[in-house]
Structure 1
Amino acid sequence: MGNSSVKAQAATEVTEAATNEGLKKGIAEFYDESSGVWESVWGDHMHHGFYEPGTTASLSDHRTAQIRMIEEALSFAGVSDDPIKKPKTIVDVGCGIGGSSRYLAKKYGAQCQGITLSPVQAQRAQALAAAEDALQQPFPDGQFDLVWSMESGEHMPEKAKFVSELARVAAPGATLIIVTWCHRNLSPSEDSLKPDEINLLNKICNAYYLPAWCSAADYVNIAKSLSLENIKTADWSENVAPFWPAVIRSAFTWQGFTSLLQSGWKTIKGALVMPLMIEGYKKNLIKFAIITCRKPE
């Protein structure tokens, strides 16, 4: 009996490892294909823009909105501009092609290191010589004053391990900022999402190489379990609502259309499910959340 349970556990661990490796490979290949398209149309900030609710986003103001997203996140977390208190060492987990990394480094005069699964992105950003895994970061404990993760948490298969790694590399007193896609918080009477909600998320997962989704409340509980302090969260779904329609419109420009055709099937498949992201937001299923906290001194 004991031996069979050990074998079952080992088999499960092997399956999970294989699944995680498949996810990492898919994520890397997806961004290897799509990063050039994104940069040519939208620029070097590979994340949502922050807009006034109810407005219409356009290509002409996307960069301003993406910069505003960074600034709103820093403000929400209470990151200081004071020369004495401002961060001096920063890690950008899921750095893309380094847009946020360069912005943060310039803003604070700080040393900023980026980490990404995509070798193409790593080379483009010149962030690291080799791609690394955000669930096992190549940094010692307590190295960074600001730990920044802009739209990378949704790609992490083990959310608790992901946040634990962010906390591990954070210096005492450091601020952690996670901006990520989540599903809605479950009500006290719910054990899980509804079947049609799970079906919609699965379609998005298949296109974007995402593991199972979690809620902002799940992130808060993980932060509490790690004894992190000053935990705050907010739902910015309304502020990013104009983003996906603008991305879809950009795909129908001549530059966007030709770039998509040249990029590869993974990028095209990702473009085809963009309307599902809009549907998820409209149904209040998909949430764009920020979670910030502080490592105890």
Structure 2
Amino acid sequence: MIVPDISQNAVAVADHYDDLDPVYRRVWGDHVHHGFWLTGRETPREAVEALVDAVGDRLRLAPGQTCVDIGCGYGATARQVAVTRGVRVTGFTLSAEQARYAAAHPVPDVEIRVRDWLDNGLADASADAAWAIESSEHMVDKPRFFAEAHRVLAPGGRFVVCAWLAETGASGWKVRHLLEPICREGRLPSMGTREEYEAMAAEAGFTVTGFEDVSRRVARTWTICAGRLLKAFLTDPETRRLAFRARNRVFALSIPRLILAYRTGAMRYGIFTLQKAGENGTAGDPG
């Protein structure tokens, strides 16, 4: 597990997203996650929505199901899934600014709560499905992140996790100059490998029914962000003002690191499909 040299916690994560809220939305939009390019011809907006569709497909959602979006950001994923799949979604975010934006863009059957997932208050076996798109990285206690998902899911429930992952056996220079600074600048308490995630999921009681390394399909996110941010700095005084005023402006340094981390293989992007055992103790169909 990669751990930054400066300890991070939920308060720091909330401050990061509250502070950078206007910059994130100006540069990337209301989906706070990577794009997913299947053909390579998708626009960035189509690519971020494609990642949401990929998660929904892996969850095998059915109309009327009750779902949980762990680390829901601005609620864009929850809204898309609720509308396209006919499900009910409760989203959790640490950011009051993200929740405020979500409240201004309501859709039926979506509720956004400002609350730490590690203390979520949901009843046992109360959800049919759950997902976490790039939020597990911000969890201080990752084993508990998985344990809470397992507790909240009903028997047979599916859980999809999209995660930034450290390269297994990453060399010292990759850790020192790429992975550790990315954790520090992005307010990640830690970054795990595929093997560490699968071990934590299994310890929580999940069966890992699928894993895909989609690094090549998502990596262009950061070159697009870099270009947009540079253009905004040069042409938009308001973005310049917001970025320079931000307490968390150091995150801009992570964009070139992220580009290099993907190109060197130091960082990977994985999609895990997990399942809780059914009433008869079996995990159900794999895949």
Range class of TM-score, shorter chain: 0.7 to 0.9
Find the partner of 1:66 among 29, 48, 61.
48
What is the aligned partner in structure 1 of residue 129 from structure 2? 146
TM-score, length basis structure 2: 0.84
Find the partner of 1:51 among 37, 43, 53.
37
Find the partner of 1:122 among 99, 112, 118.
99
Deviation at 1:244, TM superposition (A): 0.3
Work out whether residues 150 and 179 of structure 1, in 8 Å CA contact, stay in contact via their aligned partners in 2.
yes
What is the aligned partner in structure 1 of residue 242 from structure 2? 262
Q: Are positions 1:34 and 2:20 aligned together?
A: yes
| Cα distance in structure 2, aligned partners of 1:64 and 1:201 | 28
Unaligned runs of 5+ in 1: 1-18, 187-192
Which is greater in Rg?
1
Q: Are positions 1:25 and 2:4 aligned together?
A: no
| Cα distance in structure 2, aligned partners of 1:129 and 1:232 | 28
Relative to structure 1, the CA distance from residue 257 to residue 165 in structure 2 (aligned partners, 3 Å threshold; closer, same or farther) is farther
- How big is the alpha-carbon RMSD for the aligned residues of Structure 1 and Structure 2? 2.2
Q: Are positions 1:164 and 2:147 aligned together?
A: yes
* One-letter amino acid of the counterpart of residue 267, structure 2: I
What is the aligned partner in structure 1 of residue 107 from structure 2? none
Deviation at 1:25, TM superposition (A): 1.5
Aligned residues: 263
Unaligned runs of 5+ in 2: 1-5, 104-109, 279-287
1:256-294 CA-partner distances (Å, limit 9, x unpaired)? 674243143344211122000011111111011111111
| Cα distance in structure 2, aligned partners of 1:148 and 1:129 | 14
Deviation at 1:129, TM superposition (A): 7.3
* One-letter amino acid of the counterpart of residue 28, structure 2: W
1:40-63 CA-partner distances (Å, limit 9, x unpaired)? 33221111001148x588xxx111
* One-letter amino acid of the counterpart of residue 69, structure 1: L
* One-letter amino acid of the counterpart of residue 271, structure 1: A
What is the aligned partner in structure 2 of residue 180 from structure 1? 163
Find the partner of 1:246 among 199, 224, 244.
224
What is the aligned partner in structure 2 of residue 276 from structure 1? 257
Relative to structure 1, the CA distance from residue 111 to residue 90 in structure 2 (aligned partners, 3 Å threshold; closer, same or farther) is same
| Cα distance in structure 1, aligned partners of 2:129 and 2:111 | 18
Relative to structure 1, the CA distance from residue 253 to residue 28 in structure 2 (aligned partners, 3 Å threshold; closer, same or farther) is same
Identity of aligned residues (%): 27
1:217-270 CA-partner distances (Å, limit 9, x unpaired)? 211112222332352111110001211000000102236674243143344211
